[in-house]
Amino acid sequence: MDLDLLEERYQQLTVELHPDFYANASKRQQQQSELASTVLNRAYNTLRNPVARANDLLPRLAQGAALDERQLPSGFLMEMFGLQESLDELLESGIPEEIAQTRTDLTERHATLISGLALHFAEAEATAPPSTLQTLQTDLNAERYLHRLLERFPV
């Protein structure tokens, strides 16, 4: 997605919907512009975050087809649990280089998963085979676990 274009359109619409323009308008019009602003902000926040965008888009692509929202790559849960456990030790022992390295590795893995989403989406939009949709769902499921791990690092 073209993020610059998104930003540009968002700014433009924000200005158009600005309450100042409606200072002399009817109560009804004022309310409508407020409502439109809320919708605009929600849409913007969803669109600019690739994971939120994917989570929003997938059910639309699936068109009611049931996707397994629990499915994870095989062995993934066990691995995540193991990583959580070793992170306990790591964060406690506090060797800064090791913490930084683990963080970099996990960040990369998370980023790879997210860029993979974009590819799968392109594929799904073109042909939408159910298996691609489930792959996307599985990736999105996995994303949350990686996200949780990353949240544990001190900022």
77 and 138 in contact (C-beta within 8 Å)? Answer: no
Does 141 bind other proteins (CB under 8 A)? Our answer is yes
Alpha helices in the chain (DSSP H): 3-16, 27-48, 50-62, 76-93, 96-126, 130-151
Nearest approach in angstroms of CB 64 to other proteins is 19
Q: Report DSSP letters for 26-69, one per residue.
A: -HHHHHHHHHHHHHHHHHHHHHHSHHHHHHHHHHHHHTT----S
Stretch 28-67 residues interacting with other proteins (CB under 8 A):
none
Nearest approach in angstroms of CB 42 to other proteins is 19
As a whole number of angstroms, the distance between CA 18 and CA 122 comes to 35
Q: Per-residue x/- marks for other proteins, 62-81, CB under 8 A?
A: -------xx-x----xx-xx
Nearest approach in angstroms of CB 139 to other proteins is 12
Q: Would you say 47 or 51 has its CB closer to other proteins?
A: 51
Does 146 bind other proteins (CB under 8 A)? Our answer is yes
Nearest approach in angstroms of CB 78 to other proteins is 6
Does 121 bind other proteins (CB under 8 A)? Our answer is no
Over the range 117-130, which residues count as b (16 or more CB within 10 Å of their CB) and which as e?
A: beebbeebeeeeee
Does 85 bind other proteins (CB under 8 A)? Our answer is yes
CB-CB neighbours of 133 under 10 Å: 21
CA atoms within 13 A on the CB side of 40: 18
Number of residues that bind other proteins (CB under 8 A): 17
Does 11 bind other proteins (CB under 8 A)? Our answer is no
Footprint on this chain of other proteins (rule: CB under 8 A): 69-70, 72, 77-78, 80-81, 84-85, 141, 143-149
